[in-house]
Every structure is written in structure tokens, then in C-alpha cells.
Amino acid sequence: MTNEKRHDIIKLFQIEQFWRIFMSEKKFLSALRLCAVFSDASGETLRGLTVCRCGNFRAGEFIYSADSFEKSLGIIISGKVEVFGENENKRVRLNSLSQGDMFGAAALFGKGEGYVSTVVSKTASEVLFVSESKMKEIIVSDPAVSLAYIAFLSDRIRFLNKKISAFTAKSADAAVAAALLTEESDSFELNISRLSKRLGIGRTSVYRSLELLEKSGAIRYSEGTIKVLSKEFLKNVR
């Protein structure tokens, strides 16, 4: 092999390496700008996160569980992740996360030893882990992140209160109405079987409740898609 050819191969290799690093950093920054806590973070804060650990997970692989977790804020860089709660040996899906979403925010500064949820990688995924000490450093130095963190936790409290209402509702109609209110969008796909298992009521009862809510004008239900028309009505279903 001539020196000229060897030089060309080395140059191509360097270009390929540079491109991989560039695309990786672009994906990393895109995820952080989508993240509720870091969307308005300073450039210095974002650069500081590059030293944090990144983990790659296969589909179906556990990321966090009650017995295996670390005190870190998890941020989804790529892929999809699901969060489950355990209730009397039954696993209940609490949330689905994708690029820019977080988990572990509420437990990060808590004094508890265990983790109350199970986090599972739904697809191949990459997760950035920001340690407790690193987050303390950022919160002290970057006011925009501090305010965003407080706002995020407040929103999570409201979201979980809606979930609790869905699980503790006395009637099937109230349970279904409360479950619909937990969705972030006014229009979404609804899996009847999954909702039935989550609420612990039969599918027939779920269908009956949906029909009643549609007749009342609170929702529109068509081909597996729900359109919420009156949140106020749903809040008052007993």
C-alpha cells in the first residue's frame, strides 16, 4: 500500500469519527432542549452534562427497579421507556417516555432507600444519568434550571393526583372519567383492554361508561380514539 493510499484511508477514518461524534452531540443536545428542566439551561450547564454517564439499554431491559437503582435524574436521549408501578403483585403502567422526557426527579433528593417504580426500556434506548451531586451543583448555579425543576415537580404532583382519583373512584363511570382526565392531550388513542386492567373493571363496563359519557356530550369516541369535549363534566362524574 502506498503512503498516499494510507493517508487517504486515515483521512476517511478521521472524517467518519468526526461525523459520528458530531451526530452524537447533536442528538444529545436535541434531547436536552426537549427536556422540561434543561430547555432554557445555559450553554455552560449543557456542556457540564457531557461528563455525566450515558447508558444504552436493549428492549425489555430493566433500567430502574425497587432493588436496583441509582440516585440520578434519568433523561431519555433516544428510544422509548415505560414506567410501571406495582400494586398487589400487579404491574400498572404509569407513563410512557421518549426523547427529552425524564424519570427519577421526585426521588432524586428524597431520603428513601428504595425506588417506588420500575423503569423498563420499551425499545433500544440511550439514557443520560445526572447524579444528585451534579444536579445540586446545577440548581445552585443556573436559576432557569431551578425554576424549571420546581415547575416540573408541581406538574407531576397534579398528574399523580389525577391518577389517584382514577384508582379510588367509587363507580365505573367516575373511574373511566378520571382516567381520561389523566391524559395530557384532549385527543388520544385508547386501549380498552389496558384501561380495563388498570382500573380493575370489566371491558363491558368500560364500554358502557364511554357510551354514557359520549351521550352526555363529554367525549367523542370513534375507532379507538377519544376526543375530550368537556373536562368540567368529566371532573363532576360520580
Domain 11-157 has CATH 2.60.120.10: yes
In the structure, what pLDDT confidence band is assigned to residue 61 with cuts at 50, 70 and 90? very high
What is the pTM assigned to this prediction? 0.62
Three-state secondary-structure class, residue 140: helix
**How many other CB atoms sit within 10 Å of the CB of residue 70?**
13
Residues 189-198, mean pLDDT to the nearest whole number: 81
Burial class for 182, CB neighbours closer than 10 Å (0-12, 13-18, 19+): middle
Residue bearing cell 498516499: 4
Q: Give the architecture (CATH level 2) of 169-235.
A: Orthogonal Bundle (1.10)
pLDDT digits (tens, 9 = 90+) for 129-142: 999 999 999 999 99
Residue bearing cell 404491574: 91
Burial class for 194, CB neighbours closer than 10 Å (0-12, 13-18, 19+): exposed
In contact, 84 and 115? CB cutoff 8 Å: no
Q: How many CA atoms lie within 13 A of 231 on its CB side?
A: 8
Residue type, 223: E
CA gap 25, 59 in Å, rounded? 23
Residue bearing cell 373493571: 201
Residue 206: pLDDT over 90: no
In the chain, domain spans: 11-157, 169-235
